[in-house]
Structure 1
Amino acid sequence: MPTTGQYFRTTLKQAHLEWGSHRHTNTRGIRYGEGYLQIPAPDAYNCEITNDKEPARSQVYNFSTSDGFITNGRLKASGNQAQEKYAKQFHGDGNLQLLGDWFYHIDAQIGDEIEIKFISPTDILLTKI
């Protein structure tokens, strides 16, 4: 589980900004406005960000954005790293457009950096750098 004060940064790519439409699979239809944040493997391991393969921990985190656009939101850690219990992304819990809405609000572009800071083991603050 993450500890208070831990943080990492992730660089946005087209797939993060256009998750529902920039796809290389036909597993579901196109959905505009979806977004996610990549969790690089070293950061997932270092911060111990796990997915549903680690049932002793919740993969849902409370979060806010430093600009105040989102307060008391919920992010879910999902996907698998090489060590399968560690997550590879954060996305809105039950709302895959949640981060997409924020990306639109902050005019996020490919190459922008997002800081993901744990203000407690279960609370995250997102900041566009």
Structure 2
Amino acid sequence: MPQAGDTYEVALKQSHLNWGTYRNPTNRNPIKGEAYIPIPKDFADNHGVYNSNHTPTGYGYNQFHAKSKDGFLHDVTLLAQGSSSAGAVYAKQFSVQDNLKEIGDWYRHCKASVGDKVKVEWVSTTSVVLEII
């Protein structure tokens, strides 16, 4: 479980910024505006950032209260999801729970582009602050 002060930075790729339309596999119709925040595998493994394959789930495991440093995102729930292989318990990405477009809206608000970095900083075991740097 991540602790206050834990942090990671990750460079954005086209697939992170435009997941809804720039993706592989193409197993569904494109949806403009979807995006996500990647979670480095070593960070997820070392700090216990899980997806829904892990028990228990909930805040501190696969859900986190979140806000962005710029104030655009406030009081949202980030959901840790996806995995690098079927059945794996460590998450590979964050999205806003029940809204795959909200991270995309934030990226556009910040004018984020390929190569920009996202900083994810835990301020408690259940809360994070997001920043484009």
| Fold shared per TM-score above 0.5 | yes
Structure 1 unpaired stretches of 5+: none
Aligned to 1:51: 51
Aligned to 1:23: 23
Q: What's the CA shift for 1:128?
A: 0.9
CA distance in 2, matches of 1:26, 1:117: 32
Aligned to 1:76: 79
Q: What's the CA shift for 1:81?
A: 3.3
Alignment RMSD, CA only? Answer: 1.3
% of aligned pairs identical?
34
CA distance in 1, matches of 2:37, 2:92: 9
Residue correspondence of structure 1 range 1-129 to structure 2 within 5 A: 1-58=1-58, 59-81=62-84, 84-129=88-133
Which aligned segments of 4 or more residues in structure 1 are displaced greater than 2 angstroms?
none
Deviations 1:41-79 (A, max 9, x none): 111112210011112132121100000011101111011
- Report SS of the residue matched to 1:76: strand
Give the AA of the match of 1:125.
Answer: V
CA distance in 1, matches of 2:8, 2:25: 29
CA distance in 1, matches of 2:122, 2:84: 20
- Report SS of the residue matched to 2:43: helix
TM-score for both structures, normalised by structure 1: 0.95
TM-score for both structures, normalised by structure 2: 0.92
Deviations 1:71-116 (A, max 9, x none): 1011110111358110000011100001000000000000000100
CA distance in 2, matches of 1:128, 1:10: 10
